[in-house]
Amino acid sequence: MDEFALINRFFSRRIARTDVIAGIGDDGAVLSPGAGLEQVQVIDTLVEGVHFPPDTRAQDIAWRAVAVNLSDIAAMGARPRWMTLALTLTNSSEAWLESFAAGLFAAADEHDVALVGGDTTYGATLVVTISISAELHPGTALLRSGAKPGDTVFVSGTLGDAAAGLSLLQQQAGDDWLTTRFLRPTARIDTGLALVGKATAAIDVSDGLAGDLRKLLDASGVGARIDIEKIPLSEALCNRFDTARRHQYALSGGDDYELCFTAPAAAVAGVPGITAIGIVTDTGRLEFFLHGDVVEVDNSGYRHFS
């Protein structure tokens, strides 16, 4: 199949959004940004064998590629609108592309994001790059830099599920719920939007809580004290793993794509799906406590699989 036919068949479809003047098919997309709004632009690349196992289903690769971008948008407190897709294919089996497009549009449609362009190439390794544009009201972006001593530290959802799910995938010891948390992360767009004007700083948890919270604290010039027993864990994680492993996955495992943010506790009292796990301090240090005792946490947070 030539590139033109491939794009037409799998990626070009009617766009309902009225802010897309010209989408796929011209030399560039023509878009109509909302008057008086600020723009947030994010981009993320997934490389086969590095960011997902080689046998991952096409629909899950596509979902994940959209979700990791949406997660960055969520952490900024913005509303996503348009995306572009750069695809390096190693083969173009129609069944694979069909599945890929299904996962791509399923993830995009959840947040009414239109695919407005892209690029298609062939290479030695499958590489998927997605870029998403989002909008927000001027001055309302959730930055990493606003945390203040005395703020409470929160996370959305539950932590550690994706790392646990990946380990189960690698052992082929499937737990559907946990592996789905790895393969199909949920971008917390609604939570991000609900935090605008309330949270003082935010980041998405892609490389593990310890490492990502450290980035937020550094950007804000503050420290934090985290009570490990307060970190929300799923029933599935607790059923499958002992306490030490749960904590390892929750603190240092990656790929959860939950939000970690700081706010005065009263400001976010009505926001659903969030849990307080600690407090911002003026020490500059990130300290972990387990039932009141200090514990060491490896905060590299980054985990390769091979």
Taking CB under 6 A as the criterion, the residue among 27, 235, 293, 296 binding ligand ADP is 27
Q: Which of 113, 109, 101, 103 is nearest to 31 (CA)?
A: 113
Residues whose CB is less than 8 angstroms from the CB of residue 238 and which lie 6 or more positions away in sequence, other chains included: 246
CA-derived radius of gyration, the chain: 20
Residues 262-281 that bind Mg ion (CB under 5 A): none
Backbone region of residue 230 per phi and psi (left: phi > 0; alpha: psi in -120 to 50; beta: other values) = alpha
Nearer to ligand ADP, 67 or 259 (CB): 67
Site string for Mg ion, 109-138 (x = CB under 5 A): ----------x-------------------
Listed in sequence order, the DSSP H helices in the chain are 3-10, 58-76, 94-109, 161-170, 176-183, 189-195, 209-220, 235-240, 243-252
Selection from Mg ion, ligand ADP, none that 182 binds (CB < 5 to 8 A by kind) is none
Note whether 262 and 156 are within 8 A (CB).
no
Q: How far is the CB of 110 from ligand ADP (least distance, A)?
A: 18
Residue 205 to residue 211: CA distance in whole angstroms = 9
Q: Which does 149 bind (CB under 5 to 8 A by kind): Mg ion, ligand ADP, none?
A: none
Question: Minimum distance between the CB of residue 109 and ligand ADP, rounded to whole angstroms?
Answer: 15
Q: Closest separation between CB of residue 107 and Mg ion, Å?
A: 23
24: partner contacted, choices ligand ADP, Mg ion, none (Cβ within 5-8 A by kind) = ligand ADP
CB of 25 to Mg ion, least distance (A): 12
Burial class of residue 69 (count of CB atoms within 10 Å of its CB; 0-12, 13-18, 19+): buried
Residues between 78 and 97 with contacts to ligand ADP, criterion CB under 6 A: 85, 87
Interface with ligand ADP (CB under 6 A): 3, 7, 11, 24-27, 85, 87, 115, 117-120
